[in-house]
Amino acid sequence: MEFRDVVRKRHMVRDYDPDRPVPAEIRERLLEHAIRAPSAGFSQGWAFLVLESPDDRERFWQSSTSPEQAARMDDWLGRMRRAPLLVVPLSHKQAYLDRYAEPDKGATDRDESRWPVPYWDVDTGMAALLILLTVVDEGLAACFFGVEPDRHGPFRQAFDVPEGYTPIGCISVGYEGSEDKRSPSLKRGRRGVEEVVHRGRW
Amino acid sequence: MEFRDVVRKRHMVRDYDPDRPVPAEIRERLLEHAIRAPSAGFSQGWAFLVLESPDDRERFWQSSTSPEQAARMDDWLGRMRRAPLLVVPLSHKQAYLDRYAEPDKGATDRDESRWPVPYWDVDTGMAALLILLTVVDEGLAACFFGVEPDRHGPFRQAFDVPEGYTPIGCISVGYEGSEDKRSPSLKRGRRGVEEVVHRGRW
């Protein structure tokens, strides 16, 4: 698809056809594109947990949702659970601190105050966006959503994820279902270019 | 251009043709695409400082580079300064804390511990990536680089940027020059899909 059409068509979709799995070659293309994201110092401090079997997906929903959330978001969860593929991009701060301690960078103290911008999260977010865009290019649908802070621990435990890795969210992927509901947040309206762009000075 | 070609061709370029400005319609397309990035709760807590005149660009380089850096990076800076357009994407944490204090989200305490992932930076990074990709689609070249922590203050002061806005980096844009030098970091090699992907569990 033309790049600009991909950008215009991208939006979050929250219902999936449970009978149409994501073809393996498309799943792999999502991942091949993800690792082409830029990264500070070419650190590439990221990981991707790919969940496809019904058991693995159920383990994700169980571990990442508290009972109160599950009750409150029953409708949302019911539709999201139909997604045949989940990809959890994880950021890895230590990989960046270690990379910048190498001789060509020289930050051997690994001092976090050198990092007013957490590029481990930013770069992993860019990889996530490449997955979201590739999904559109392949004619599928996706949603990127966060994992509640109090569920990071249970999620890590459920999948043996090491402590230093942070799930920056989860991407549900599949063919669009018939019951998608757009986010109520969209009522806020998009902020236009002139509202957010400052030319020459603030 | 086909989406997948844009993804494959994207790379950082560090020299620009000083005699070819960025056409106005391309500059605007970069910005129109940037604001199509996803954002948590549709917060859209971002801003973009666009610098084009020689004076404005010089003010950026002066404020964002310490004399020691300038001496150390003389060669790099000499080539980067040729870029006819600079776009500084800025993240705005408060916009997210305020958005999630609204009735539909209810986090009225604006407690930052609810945010193990700083979506203000992640979302603004996604907007930056849309600019980088659009640059490739338009046949131009760009580089995304960080602003050193000790220069955030001088940079803000130089352009009257309010305290709550963080420059997540700067994107230099132009037509590719003849003296581009690839980053030495690339010698590290790209981490392959099998190295970073975990299937089913860690």
Q: What is the pLDDT of residue B155?
A: 98
**Which pair of structure tokens corresponds to residue B102?**
């609204």
Nearest to B142 by CA among B55, B2, B22: B22
Q: Rounded to whole angstroms, how far apart are CA atoms B175 and B131? A: 14
Q: What is the pLDDT of residue A68?
A: 87
B132 touches chain A (CB under 8 A): yes
CB atoms within 10 A of CB B181: 11
Instruction: Break chain B down into helix, strand, coil percent, rounded to 5.
Output: 45, 15, 35
Q: What is the pLDDT of residue A163?
A: 95
Q: Which residues of chain B have a CB within 8 Å of the CB of A36?
A: 7-8, 10
How would you write the pLDDT of chain B (202 residues) with one tens digit per residue? 999 999 999 999 999 999 999 999 999 999 999 999 999 999 999 999 999 999 999 999 999 998 888 888 889 999 999 999 999 999 999 999 999 999 999 999 999 999 999 999 999 999 999 999 999 999 999 999 999 999 999 999 999 999 999 999 999 999 999 999 999 999 999 999 999 999 999 9
**Which pair of structure tokens corresponds to residue A36?**
């082409």
- Angstrom CA distances, B131 to B46, B77, B139, B168, stand at 14, 21, 12, 14
Of residues A43 and A68, the one with the higher pLDDT is A43
Closest CA of chain A from B80, distance in Å: 17
Instruction: Give the predicted TM-score (pTM) of the model.
Output: 0.98
Pairing of strands A85-92, A170-174: antiparallel
Is B42 in contact with A185 (Cβ distance < 8 A)? yes
Are the C-beta atoms of residues B197 and A33 closer than 8 Å to each other? no
Q: What is the pLDDT of residue B73?
A: 87
Q: Rounded to whole angstroms, how far apart are CA atoms B42 and A14? A: 15
Q: Which residues of chain A have a CB within 8 Å of the CB of B130?
A: 7, 129
Residues 6+ apart with CB under 8 A from B124: A122, B37, B45, B46, B89, B90, B91, B168
Mean predicted confidence (pLDDT) in A129-140: 98
Structure letter (DSSP) for residue B147: P
Residue B145 backbone dihedrals phi, psi, to 5 degrees: -140, 155
Element (H, E) at B70: helix B67-72
CA closest to A12 among chain B residues: B38
Pairing of strands B141-145, A197-199: unpaired
Is B191 in contact with A41 (Cβ distance < 8 A)? no
Task: Respond yes or no on whether ipTM tops 0.85.
Answer: yes
As a CATH number, domain A3-196 is: 3.40.109.10
Strand partners, B86: B51, B172
The answer, yes or no, to whether residue A72 has pLDDT greater than 90, is: no
For residue B12, the SS3 value is: strand
For residue A66, the SS3 value is: coil
Q: Rounded to whole angstroms, how far apart are CA atoms B116 and A164? A: 12
Side-chain-facing half-sphere of B15: CA atoms under 13 Å: 11
Residue A189 one-letter amino acid: G
Q: What is the pLDDT of residue A73?
A: 86
List the 70-129 stretch of B: residues with Cβ below 8 A of A: 91, 104, 113-119, 121-126, 128-129
Return the domain boundaries, chain A.
Answer: 3-196
Q: Where are the alpha helices (DSSP H) in A41-118?
A: 54-64, 67-72, 74-80, 93-99
Interface size between A and B, measured as CB pairs under 8 A: 201
For residue A2, the SS3 value is: strand
The predicted-structure confidence for A19-30, as pLDDT tens digits, reads as follows: 999 999 999 999
Structure letter (DSSP) for residue A117: S
CA closest to A44 among chain B residues: B191
